[in-house]
Structure 1
Amino acid sequence: MEGKLVGVHKVNVKLADGTSTTYYYAWRGKGAPRIESKPGTKAFTQEFIRLTRDRQQNAQAGTIGSLVDDFRSTASYKMLAPSTRRDYERQFATIRIVFEAFPIKAIEARGSRRAFLKWRDTMKDTPRSADMHIALLSNVFAWAKGEEIILRNPLEAVERLHSGTRRDIIWSDEQLSTLLTKAKPHILNVALVALWTMQRQADILTMPSLAFDGARVSIKQGKTGARVRVMAAGDILPVLREAKEEKRQRVLVNSFGQNWTSSGFRASWRKEMARLKISGVTFHDLRGTAITFAYANLDRSHEEKIKLISEISGHSSEDAESIIRKHYLAGLEVIDAIGRGTKKE
């Protein structure tokens, strides 16, 4: 594996006892950090990515490395949500390992598609991740084609390896009842806001107290940039009012009264789901569950419901309708569960 990592510096060293060993460094030169993991392993590659991710490098002109740098400097890329850019940066680090010096001219050459897909298939054990990496590389090529840097994108219409979708999953009656009646308060509050606003985890955790005006919650969606106003349901009014009264920066805080970090929440969520013995569903699946609930309770036509739900949740109309068609009838018990679980004694 180490032979495929661009920049790894290999040094053969003779030890004091007369034996020889080989050390690997993330790059050549003074101050280069040594890679401690075993060469040829996944851990070795991951450590290399971690050590070189933030290192300033000047990619060679006319290569995929320079193409990536140009793509990252565009206004549209810089406007992406910070969490999205962080994910992309990790994927770019993996892409650079293999294709940093790959000539731009060779992108258009016959057979390049096969070479890129062969690389994608080396990650087939994690198909969703493999799809994300190849999709990002395709996005770079699509941008380059639009800029007339290349004449064709060899990664157009690539079939996905991962066929699953979270749209097929919502929380069951039993799971919801357990969450809403037994979860610890700092976790329950986040779940309630998710269920009653249909927003993404990142947007909920960073929601400022100022977003609540006493009746509605104003939300700027990080992924789409869209701004929506959601009527504050009675079940989350206590959470919103408490944040206002305490003059907190954010609506939701952890068990120490501090602002959540994304990693801190994920760790706490996993721990709480294990304690409650809830498995097979994710926090993200609460959005589909909430959509099912909203559809059943809105007193509007089907078309109006779909339009309103997609505007609030950030889903496309097609995704919102797919969720509803699959889960509406089965979701009637879920609707009852939300109502029962959030009802105050």
Structure 2
Amino acid sequence: MTPALVDLFLSSAARAKAARSFEDQQKWLLRFAAHFKDAPAVIFEERGSRSEVNQWRAQWKHSPKQHDMAGTHAARVLNWAVEEGHLSEHHCHRLPKLYGVDRSEVVWTPSDREAIDAIAPDWIKRLLCVACETGLRPGDLVKLTMASVERTPQGRRLRVRTSKRGRIAHIPITPALAEVIDATPSGRLLILTNASGGQLTEHRASEGLRQWRDKAGLSQELRLQDCRGTAATRLLNAGLSLSEIASHMGWSLRHAANVIEHYARVSPGESDAVLVKLAQAKGAGT
């Protein structure tokens, strides 16, 4: 039965590794299992099952992102079922998506950062700076410790194992990032904390920046995750190749190039230097 298939997947090695990712995966797949609770899993070998899955996820059509998430998780468990031999095939590949926002054009510009720095408390300013200088996801930002700082022949870098892919990322410490690290109180392990100096959660980090973004009158499209576009430019300027940046961000080479090119267009003070380096990176075949 379909619920049993979902249970098998959620207890398998194929399930999401990161806690937050697994919570999301479990939430959507339990919804999927509840809807198809009376259906044997083999119904997904029939062509008509594609329509059934589309009808199920249509209940979230008011929220394109949730609508697409439902289809993504359904297809993932069915792909796994085919790979493991529980199904011979399924017909839910490449379900049409509603959410089509291209966030490569959503970046924090120098003027946006200045607007936040002018009014926000120190913990928010530190958060925004580190996010824009490293490109780390919120879940990795809140775990950064002083132990992540390593010496190199030319200076310092951060050595971070990213939570989403479990890869080791080596991030150059730029002058702006160095200021934040060097201003971290002696004896404090965490580089970023909440207003009270305690553990900062991923949710509080995102919500805190959103609140001060609104107070500064900035675009409501800007989110903590969008600091990654700014960071891509910083990393290019720090000497990383386009392929290294794409690998660190989990992006394609084309997306990384598009993000950096857009940042240069909306940041006139950096346009020429950034575009020259981007052209060199493309020309080098990276």
CA distance in 2, matches of 1:268, 1:230: 25
Aligned partner of 2:278 in structure 1 is none
Q: For the structure 1 residues 266 and 116, does the alpha-carbon distance in structure 2 shift closer, same or farther, using more than 3 Å as the test?
A: same
Q: Once the 2 structures are TM-superposed, how far is the Cα of residue 242 of structure 1 from its aligned partner?
A: 4.0
Structure 2's unaligned 5+ residue stretches are 273-286
Please report the TM-score for the alignment, with normalisation by the length of structure 1. 0.71
CA distance in 2, matches of 1:93, 1:326: 40
1:111 to 37, 40, 48: 48
Structure 1's unaligned 5+ residue stretches are 1-62, 337-345
Deviations 1:141-187 (A, max 9, x none): 00101111111121112121111122231234432321233322101
2:131 to 194, 200, 209: 194
CA distance in 2, matches of 1:227, 1:200: 14
**2:249 pairs with 1:309:** no
CA distance in 1, matches of 2:146, 2:271: 28
**2:153 pairs with 1:212:** no
Q: For the structure 1 residues 134 and 261, does the alpha-carbon distance in structure 2 shift closer, same or farther, using more than 3 Å as the test?
A: same
Deviations 1:109-149 (A, max 9, x none): 23111111111222111011110111111000001011111
Please report the TM-score for the alignment, with normalisation by the length of structure 2. 0.85
Aligned partner of 2:180 in structure 1 is 239
Instruction: Within 5 Å, give how 1:316-327 maps onto structure 2.
Output: 316-327=252-263
Q: For the structure 1 residues 334 and 183, does the alpha-carbon distance in structure 2 shift closer, same or farther, using more than 3 Å as the test?
A: farther
**Relative contact order (alpha carbons < 8 A, sep ≥ 6): 1 or 2 greater?**
2
Q: Could you say which structure has the higher helix fraction?
A: 2
Q: For the structure 1 residues 334 and 162, does the alpha-carbon distance in structure 2 shift closer, same or farther, using more than 3 Å as the test?
A: farther
Q: Would you identify which runs of 4 or more consecutive aligned residues in structure 1 move more than 6 Å?
A: none
- In structure 2, the residue corresponding to 1:320 is in which secondary structure? helix
Please, what is the CA RMSD of the aligned residues?
A: 2.2
Instruction: Within 5 Å, give how 1:1-345 maps onto structure 2.
Output: 63-77=1-15, 80-213=17-150, 215-243=156-184, 246-279=186-219, 280-295=221-236, 297-298=237-238, 305-333=241-269
- In structure 2, the residue corresponding to 1:75 is in which secondary structure? coil
Aligned residues: percent identity?
22
- In structure 2, the residue corresponding to 1:219 is in which secondary structure? strand
Paired residue type of 2:165: T
Farther off after superposition, 109-118 or 139-148: 109-118
Farther off after superposition, 224-233 or 95-104: 95-104
Q: For the structure 1 residues 228 and 172, does the alpha-carbon distance in structure 2 shift closer, same or farther, using more than 3 Å as the test?
A: closer
- In structure 2, the residue corresponding to 1:192 is in which secondary structure? helix
Aligned length: 267
